Amino acid sequence: MKYCLIGINHKTAPVEVRERLAISESRLPEAVRSLASRPDVEEGIIFSTCNRVEVLARSVDIVPDLRGFLYGHFQMESSALDSHLYEYSGPDAIRHLFRVASSLDSMIVGEPQILGQVKEAYAVARSVGAVHSHMDALLSRAFAVAKRVRTETSVGSSAVSVASVAVDLAKKIFGSLQGKQVYLVGAGKMSEIAARHLIAHGAGAIFVANRTHERAVELAKKFNGDAIRFEQLYDMASEADIVITSTGAPHHIFRREHGEMFLQRRRNRPMFFIDIAVPRDVDPAVNELDGIFVYDIDDLQSVVTSHVADRQREASRAEEIINFEVQRFLERLDTLDVVPTIVSLQDHVETIRQAEIDKVRGRLGALSPEQELAVESLTKGIVNKILHTPITTLKGAAKDARQKDPEATTIIELVRKLFNLNSSRANLPRAAKQKTDVEKASLKS
């Protein structure tokens, strides 16, 4: 059994290549179906987001030709694709999946969307029947690992965009943004984004002032806010808890004396100025006033930078968790490998037992229910007692195989040979079903 993964992402391929490979949501089921229908693929799943296209497949004995699948599906020349592709197999493929789901492989490390995208891809693959027990177990493990990374490290907790940093800071000042008034001075794109973030976090009324009043009216309409005439700029400002400035004015619009005036009118309630204009709209001296906090674009940017560094630091802790989890998953896989052998062994012996009972029944004549029961439990008892040690040994051997103990593999081989299990396995539908159940149970534990 082997896991293989092939794909491109934002690190290996420019957007021109990625967009040619991107599979739209509506076409994804078809693509997954065609992947799973390949003879060399047992189970398969495809992840397609704007930053990556990846194909993950499980095969039984042979290495699946995933490159061939990609060339065929996208009708692309190998030369156009090969230099961008990465390929992983076995433990590396599992590790890669865990890293993707935990957002360690993302463009912005720790961004939360990727887990949802992986879950969607899983839902699609499941709905077309492309994943069964093994892939099921692998994916649910990946989700659990992602959750563990999220809760045990702070890789996704700090804000890494200017707008989200502004929201964070506002929360450090005001606690809740509920009902806080936001004043946009200058109607730039950046301030619009910042305002949108603040509103998403509960901020209340929006006022807009702009030198061109029409633009202010237009922007105010977007937020259900009010447009203020630029001449009345200072009258409204003391009402606002958060002021976002982005005018093209060559000089400071808000100076120290304005700040003092606002504070007096507000009875010292704090105010937060977000100055994203260059040259700056707010005199840095305003920040010296008790209760007014002024952040310019460089301040915000430097918080972003330090948070990005934090995330990178946390990411290395996350990698340790992932290494541990990969190891753990592989160990489970190994006990899983031995499960078919155990099941075939049990089935083999059970068939013998049934056959022997049938044979002897003719000679015994009619049996009373009590006698019937006694024969059943006698034969079953013998079978179970004999099988107990071999099964325990097999389970132990699976663990030893993990430690690369050559003897362990020999034991498993030997058992199969002794009982001639390789041939009897295929024609036992009951065993197959039971196998899946046992595997599921042992993987999900």
> Which tokens go with 298?
């460089």
Q: Which is nearer to another protein, 287 or 346 (CB)?
A: 287
Separation between Cα atoms, residue 254 and residue 284, nearest integer Å: 9
* Cβ atoms within 10 Å of 103's Cβ, excluding its own: 25
Q: Whole-number minimum distance, CB 333 to another protein, in Å? A: 32
CB of 318 vs another protein, minimal distance in Å:
16
Distance, in Å, from the CA atom of 32 to the CA atom of 128, rounded to the nearest integer, reads: 8
Determine whether 50 is an active site residue. yes
Name the amino acid, one letter, at 271.
Answer: M
Site residues, another protein (CB under 8 A): 169, 171-175, 266-270, 287, 290-291, 293, 295, 299, 302-303, 306
Q: At closest approach, how far in Å is the CB of 48 from another protein? A: 37
Least separation in angstroms between CB 352 and another protein: 56
Query: How far is residue 177 from each of residues 163, 166, 195, 209, measured CA to CA in Å?
Result: 14, 12, 12, 21
Residue with smaller CB distance to another protein, 223 or 293: 293
Q: What is the DSSP string of 303-365?
A: HHHHHHHHHHHHHHHHHHHHHHHHHHHHHHHHHHHHHHHHHHHHHHHHHHHHHHHHHHHHHH-
User: Of 185, 182, 188, nearest to 223 (Cα)?
Assistant: 182
How far is C-alpha 256 from the geometric centre of its chain's CA atoms?
48
When the beta carbons of 53 and 198 are compared against another protein, the nearer one is 198
Phi first, then psi, for residue 58 (nearest 5°) are -120, 135
CB of 244 to another protein, least distance (A): 17
Q: Tell me the closest approach of the beta carbon of residue 266 to another protein, in angstroms.
A: 8
Instruction: Give min distance, CB of 170 to another protein, in A.
Output: 9
C-alpha distances in angstroms, 26 versus 29, 31, 32, 34?
7, 10, 11, 14
The answer to whether the Cα torsion of 62, 66, 69, 75 is positive or negative is negative
Buried b (16+ CB within 10 A) or exposed e, 10-47: eeebeeebbeebbbeeeebbebbbbbbebebbbbbbbb
**C-beta closer to another protein: residue 248 or 284:** 284
SS3 10: coil
Nearer to another protein, 173 or 217 (CB): 173
- The tokens describing 372, both together, are 């019937």
Q: 310 vs 350, which CB is nearer to another protein?
A: 310
Taking each helix axis from N to C terminus, what angle separates 113-127 and 133-152, rounded to the nearest 10 degrees?
170
Q: Which of 1, 11, 15, 50 is catalytic?
A: 50
Q: Which is nearer to another protein, 20 or 266 (CB)?
A: 266
Active site residues: 50
